[in-house]
Amino acid sequence: MIEISLTVNGEPVSASVLPRTHLVDFLREELGLTGAHLGCEHGVCGACTVRLDGEIVRGCLVLAVQADGGSVETIEGMSDTGEIADLQQAFIDRNALQCGFCTPGMLIAAQDLLRHGGVPSREDIREHLSGNYCRCTGYHAIVDAVETTAKQREAAQ
């Protein structure tokens, strides 16, 4: 077991973990933060996307020990701070989620694009989200919701 200390959604966390424990399993099983989902466990589907030190990562390709000393943000934390409240509402209004299993990862990936500012083209949105698999929507509504949020944010500035 290895001792780690990190910040998760702004709260300090210390734990002993097996070296082989993936970050997403640590978040889900040890901390009960089940918003990051397991879709493929080999880095393709994006369902386990979280932020580590401000960058989006796949929770299934990062070990918990690699997050030692770092700052992790999950969908639960980003919801509580209100950082993506407008994007979440746009997803709801546009029915840009069906089963919702990809949605936390999709939102975090979309926010990663939107944080750069401006209104990305639909092609850029599609390209940026190309690492996040959604079986339900066919992506059109997701692209609409992200585009709408980008326009709203730009108009608000």
Q: Which parts of this chain interact with other proteins (CB under 8 A)?
A: 18, 20, 28-29, 33-42, 44-45, 47, 74-76, 79, 88, 91-93, 95, 97-104, 107, 122, 125-127, 129-143
Residues 36/27, Cβ–Cβ less than 8 Å? yes
Indicate the burial class of 65 (C-beta count within 10 angstroms; 0-12, 13-18, 19 or more): middle
Q: Shortest approach of other proteins to residue 55 CB, angstroms?
A: 19
Q: Shortest approach of other proteins to residue 1 CB, angstroms?
A: 13
Long-range contacts of 84-89 (CB under 8 A, 24+ apart): 84/108, 84/111, 86/149, 86/152, 86/153, 87/111, 87/114, 87/145, 87/146, 87/149
Q: Shortest approach of other proteins to residue 143 CB, angstroms?
A: 7
CB-wise, 14 or 42, nearer to other proteins?
42
CB-wise, 76 or 112, nearer to other proteins?
76
CB-wise, 7 or 89, nearer to other proteins?
89
CB-wise, 69 or 85, nearer to other proteins?
85
Q: Which residues have CB under 8 Å from 134's CB, separation 6+?
A: 102, 106, 142
Q: Shortest approach of other proteins to residue 144 CB, angstroms?
A: 9
Q: Shortest approach of other proteins to residue 65 CB, angstroms?
A: 15
Helices (H), the chain: 23-25, 75-81, 85-93, 103-114, 122-128, 140-156
CB-wise, 3 or 29, nearer to other proteins?
29
